Amino acid sequence: MKHMQEWPVAAAKAQFSQLLEQARSHGPQTVTRHGRPAIVVVSIEDWKAKAKRSQRLTEFLMHSPLRGSGLEAPRLKGKWRKSAL
């Protein structure tokens, strides 16, 4: 099982090579700033596995457990809402 270790930012800077090796061999590593998680360092293999799209949106919707359930999302009719951007 992979273990996510926490690294204060100073330690991550000082031991960057070790941080990378830990991410590669032991899984995601958390870098903290002021005691709070700031980023996660992951190996490229883990990143590609998580970022890989498993199916297209249309395929996802076609296989949804809600398909055929009778669930309806009524469309609002009328003018466009104004936005204060």
Mean pLDDT of 15-30: 96
The model's pLDDT over 54-77, given as tens digits with 9 standing for 90+, comes to 788 888 888 888 888 888 878 878
The proportion of the chain whose per-residue pLDDT surpasses 90, expressed as a percent, equals 52
Residue 43 has pLDDT above 90, yes or no: yes
What letter represents residue 21's amino acid? E
Task: Provide φ and ψ at 18, rounded to 5°.
Answer: -70, -40
Q: What is the domain-level CATH number for residue 14?
A: 3.40.1620.10
Give me the number of domains the chain comprises.
Answer: 1
Lookup: tokens for 10: 């100073």
Would you put residue 59 in left (φ > 0), alpha (ψ -120 to 50) or beta?
alpha
pLDDT at 1: 44
| pTM score of the predicted model | 0.60
Domain that holds residue 37: 6-62
Task: Say if 54 falls within a structural domain.
Answer: yes
Task: Say if 69 falls within a structural domain.
Answer: no
pLDDT at 3: 64
